[in-house]
Amino acid sequence: MDVRLEPAAAPGFRFAGVAAGLRNEPGRKDLGVIAADSAAAAAGVFTTNRVKAAPVLIAQERVRRGRLRAVGVNSGSANCFTGKLGLKLALDSTAALAEALGCKPELVAPCSTGVIGQPYDLARYREGIAAAVAALNPGGLEDFASAIMTTDTHPKVASARLRLGGKEVTFAGCAKGAGMLEPKMATMLAFVMTDAAVSPAILRAAVRDALPRSFNAITVDGDMSTNDTLLLMASGAAGNRPLEGRELGRFNAAVAEISAALARELVRDGEGATKLVTVEVRGARNAADADRVARQIANSPLVKTAFFGCDPNFGRILMAVGKAGVAIDLDRIEVAMGGIKLASRGALHTEALAAAAQRMRDREFTLTVDLKLGKGAARILTCDLSYGYVKINAEYTT
C-alpha cells in the first residue's frame, strides 16, 4: 500500500476548517469539523495522563458506543483544568454542532488543543460552527488539518487507497502535535477516516494493532499531553463486502501504515527539530526491555543535543542504555549510527567517528543498538533537541 502525504476525499465524509476568532489571531483557522453523511462506525484512544481535558472525558464516553456522526475541534484552548464550566462548554459545543447537522449530540465528539486552564468563547464557537458546517466539503481535509494546528509549522495529512472486500477503499487521515509529545496511548490529535464498511469492533482492533507501531512509537520531548486523542471512523460508503481473514489483516495494516505516516510527520515537525532519528533497538531479552532502552535513548537530552550537534557521542548512548536498567553485556553490545558501526565487542571504533558525524548531517538517519542477548526489538522515532526547541518553549507564553 502506498501512503501519500496528501489529502484525499474519503467518501461519506466532509471536512471544514474556519477562522472563528477563538485564538484572537485574525484570519487564523481555529475551528475544524469532520462530518459523516450518516453515523459512522468509530473507535478512539485517549491520553493516559491522569489529567484529562473536558473534551477527552466526553469524547471517550461517546466513542465507546461505536458510532459518531461528527467531530468538532478547536485550537487555542485545551479546555483542560476548566472544571464544571469546561465540561459544560464541551457539551454546549457539541450541541451546537449536532443542531447544525440535525443529529443527536451523543453522536458528536469534541476535541480541544491549546493552552491549559482557560476556556474558549462559546458565542464565537457557535458562529464558527455555522460557518464551518456551511463550508463542509469532501475536499476539505487540509483546511481541517490547518484549523487544529498549534505550534505545528504545517498541516499533516496522509491518504491511501487499496482494494478491500471487492471495492476500492480510501483512507484519509490528519494529525497535529509538535511538542508535549510522547503519547502513551495516542497522539495529541489524530483522525483517520475510511469509507470501508466495517464494524466498531473491527475499528477498535485496528487501533489497538496500529498504536504500538505508530503514535505510541514516537517522542519529541517525553512530555504527555492532557488532550491526546486518536479517532478512527468508517463511513461504509465504499460498499465493500464484510472483511474477514486476510482482508481484515490488510485493513489493519492500512490503518497502521497511515497512522505511522502521520506519526512520522509529527516528529519531523517536532518543536525546533532539524533531524528525524529512528532509534532501533534489537537483541534485547524481550520486547519490553527493547522498548525501555529505545525510550531512554530517544528521550535523553544529552543524546538529543548530540543529534543536533552531529556528534556520534557513543558515551551518551551507552549511558542511556545503562540507565534503562535492563540486562546488558558490554562485551556484546553493538551500536551503529546511520549504518556506521561505532562500537562492538567491548571496543569503541574511534576511526569510524568522522564518517558517522558526516552521516548525521542528513535530515534523517537511524541509530541502531543491538544488545545481542535475545530477540526483543523496538523502534522509536525521535528528533533532536535544538536551540529552536528552547526558543519555542521559552517564548510561548500562556
| Binding residues vs a copy of itself (CB under 8 A) | 48-52, 78, 80-81, 83, 115-118, 179-180, 221-226, 300-302, 305-306, 308-309, 311-316, 318-328, 330-331, 343, 346-348, 350, 353, 385-387, 389-391, 393-398
Q: Which positions ≥6 away from 21 have C-beta within 8 Å?
A: 30, 121, 124, 127, 128
Cβ closer to a copy of itself: 221 or 265?
A: 221
- CA 148, CA 157: separation in Å to the nearest integer? 12
Pairing between strand 229-234 and 189-194?
Answer: parallel
Cβ closer to a copy of itself: 151 or 199?
A: 151
What is the closest distance, in whole angstroms, from the C-beta atom of residue 321 to a copy of itself in the complex?
7
Q: Which of 47, 170, 187, 368 is catalytic?
A: 187
Cβ closer to a copy of itself: 10 or 324?
A: 324
Contact 295, 381 (CB under 8 A): no
What is the closest distance, in whole angstroms, from the C-beta atom of residue 188 to a copy of itself in the complex?
12
Cβ closer to a copy of itself: 66 or 322?
A: 322
What is the closest distance, in whole angstroms, from the C-beta atom of residue 367 to a copy of itself in the complex?
15
- CA 26, CA 366: separation in Å to the nearest integer? 41
- CA 132, CA 100: separation in Å to the nearest integer? 10
Is 151 buried (19+), middle (13-18) or exposed (0-12) by CB count in 10 A?
Answer: middle
The DSSP code for 242 is P
What is the closest distance, in whole angstroms, from the C-beta atom of residue 353 to a copy of itself in the complex?
7
The DSSP code for 218 is B
Cβ closer to a copy of itself: 205 or 357?
A: 357
Contact 189, 113 (CB under 8 A): yes
226 is catalytic: no
Residue of 44, 326, 389, 76 whose CA lies nearest to 186: 44
**Grid coordinates representing 140?**
476539505
**Residues classed as catalytic:** 187
